[in-house]
Amino acid sequence: MEVSLLAVPGTQTLIIEPLIEVASLHEIADLIVVGHHHKTHRVLLLAERLPAGFFDLSTGIAGEVVQKFVNYRFCVACVINNPGQYGERFKEFALEAREGQQFRTFVTRESAFVWLSGQF
């Protein structure tokens, strides 16, 4: 799994950012392994690195991805610039997820990084 390790300034905290599409639950499991290896439970996901099925809630992919991370107590920030482009149901999901404890959506990478930087 090709990832970038982002350091939080002034700390020893790392945030994992996948550099390739995360297209399956197997790749989510790989991210979790990378996180454990680097002693971090923070992941930054960009919309363009998620499979198309993630945005179609009827496939169940979004739920499976979120559940996998939650089961392993990872904090995940998902950057989706325009959730409305994926339909009304996904937009509602993304808006609700903006208040999540472990999985949140953001419209900018910077705001996602700030949130992840403060998670323990």
Q: What is the DSSP pairing of strand 14-18 with strand 3-7?
A: antiparallel
**Per-residue pLDDT tens for 5-29?**
999 887 778 899 999 999 889 999 9
Distances (CA, A) of 37 to 20, 33, 111: 19, 6, 26
The count of structural domains within the chain is 1
Average pLDDT value over all residues in the chain: 93
The two tokens of residue 110 are 């910077």
d(CA 23, CA 14): 23
Given a cut of 90, whether residue 34 has pLDDT beyond it is yes
Residues 15/116, Cβ–Cβ less than 8 Å: yes
Given a cut of 60, whether residue 76 has pLDDT beyond it is yes
**Per-residue pLDDT tens for 83-120?**
999 999 999 999 999 999 999 999 999 999 999 998 65
Distances (CA, A) of 67 to 13, 22, 58, 107: 23, 15, 16, 21
**Per-residue pLDDT tens for 38-53?**
999 999 999 999 999 9
d(CA 28, CA 32): 6
Query: What range does the domain containing 60 cover?
Result: 3-117
pTM: 0.91
